[in-house]
Homo-oligomer: A and B are copies of this chain.
Amino acid sequence: MKISTKGRYAVRLMIDLAEHNHGEFIPLMDIAKRQEISEKYLESIVSVLSKSNLLISLRGKGGGYKLAKNPEDYTVGSILRLTEGSLAPVSCLEGEVNDCTRACHCRTLPMWEGFNKLINDYFDGITIADLVSGSDYSDDYII
């Protein structure tokens, strides 16, 4: 039950872009050095964000990446769903329909559904701007 490096690195990349958000394009190399992540690996992550138009990219000299929106307009949920593929904690909750044959009488399904909602609500309630400003989440969302 782990968030993979893809998702974690993507969030760090977005924070880095937000912290260095001065209108210019930022080369991936700069981000890779600051974040101590292989540029080549980061490249595969940034391409997902770029293709989905979360980022604007420019090739060639003076090129790089920059945010397409303001930091407060990116939820962590939207970034993780993209880079992790899905935030569903069980595969039967992925996609539109549940095609599990046991679904109709499954004793555990409601628990997974509740958990799925909790995950998505939690990460949709946090923006990149929140992470840059350094809010503390460890005591929030007491259940």
Contacts and interface: CB of A to CB of B under 8 A. Distances in A.
Interface in A64-112: 76, 84, 86-91, 102, 107-108, 110-112
Given A122-B115, A132-B107, A143-B125, A2 B89 contact: yes
B137 A1 contact: no
A113 interface: yes
Contact of A118 (B1, B86, B113, B118): B118
A131 to B, nearest CB: 5
Copies of this chain assembled into the complex: 2
Given A2-B1, A76-B111, A107-B12, A118 B141 contact: yes
A98 to B, nearest CB: 13
A84 B111 CA distance: 17
A11 B110 contact: no
A121 B143 contact: yes
Contacts of A118: 118, 122, 141, 143
Contact of A8 (B84, B90, B125, B141): B90
A87 to B, nearest CB: 6
Contacts of A2: 1, 88-91
Interface of A: 1-4, 7-8, 11-12, 15, 36, 76, 84, 86-91, 102, 107-108, 110-115, 117-119, 121-123, 125-126, 131-132, 134-143
